[in-house]
Amino acid sequence: MSGYRQFCGLAVALDVVGDRWNLLIIRELLIAPRRFSQLRAALPGAASNLLTERLRTLEDRGLLARSHDPSRKAVEYSLTPTGAGLREPVHALVRWGAQFMAAGPSQGDLVRGEWIQLAAEALLPNATVDAVEPKLDQEGRVALTIRADDVDAAVVQITGAPAAVLGTLAAAIPIERVHAFGVDIEDRDGALRSLLPAAK
């Protein structure tokens, strides 16, 4: 690794995680520990040998660890505490990137429900988002269950196309207009409005 050779926190961070695919590997492991086959499914554009190299490099840098489950004959990758420390920087990048996603996915873009879950966690820091399946439903919609951290038993369910759900959670689509974008919200306690960024 030649690196930027700059005494700057950003340059040093990029030396560690700036190679192509590294942050997307981190994204996957922030969601849950993964086997190699699961990482390949989530990152189809990364060749197997390149993915192997990136995993080895991230392990050498202390960001992830491998564990072997003899009963399953598989190696599982998970983040170390150092790697898990990237959660907030990744969330910040997700929040920043959301502004460029208003048009929705382009033709051929892979969309996974887990990524919308991660975006919801980034956009709603005062809520817990239940785990969702990687695949969307047959109509290409994602369903999220959101629990407000500071309101007892307040549960919000939001369902819709990924771009519309992201637009709702980023407060780019007003709650009063979400139905026009095909988003359904079940929010008996009225908690969602207090969780959205624009409401703070």
pLDDT in tens, 30-63: 999 999 999 999 999 999 999 999 999 999 999 9
**Structural domain spans, the chain:** 9-84, 88-199
How far apart CA 194 and CA 197 sit, in angstroms, is 8
Q: What angle do helix axes 113-123 and 22-31 make, rounded to 10 degrees?
A: 90
Mean pLDDT of the chain: 92
Residue 198: pLDDT band with limits 50, 70, 90: low
Lowest mean pLDDT among 16-20, 68-72, 123-127, 158-162: 68-72
Q: Is the pLDDT of residue 102 over 60?
A: yes
Question: What topology does CATH give the domain 9-84?
Answer: Arc Repressor Mutant, subunit A (1.10.10)
- d(Cα 2, Cα 146) in Å, to the nearest integer? 43
Nearest to 120 by CA among 45, 44, 196, 178: 196
* Mean pLDDT calculated for residue range 114-143: 94
Q: What pLDDT shows up at residue 158?
A: 96
What span, in angstroms and rounded, lies between the C-alpha atoms of 87 and 129?
15
User: Given a cut of 50, is residue 200 above it in pLDDT?
Assistant: no
**Taking a C-beta distance cutoff of 8 angstroms, is the pair 75, 65 a contact?**
no
CA-CA distance, 4 to 188, in Å (whole number)?
52
pLDDT digits (tens, 9 = 90+) for 157-193: 999 999 999 999 998 899 999 999 999 999 998 899 8
Q: What is the largest CA-CA distance in the chain?
A: 55
The per-residue pLDDT for 199 is: 47
pLDDT band at 153 (very low <50, low <70, confident <90, very high): confident
108 touches 80 (CB < 8 A): no
- Predicted confidence band of residue 104 (pLDDT cuts 50, 70, 90): confident
Amino acid occupying residue 192: L
What whole-number distance in Å separates Cα of residue 142 and Cα of residue 111?
A: 10
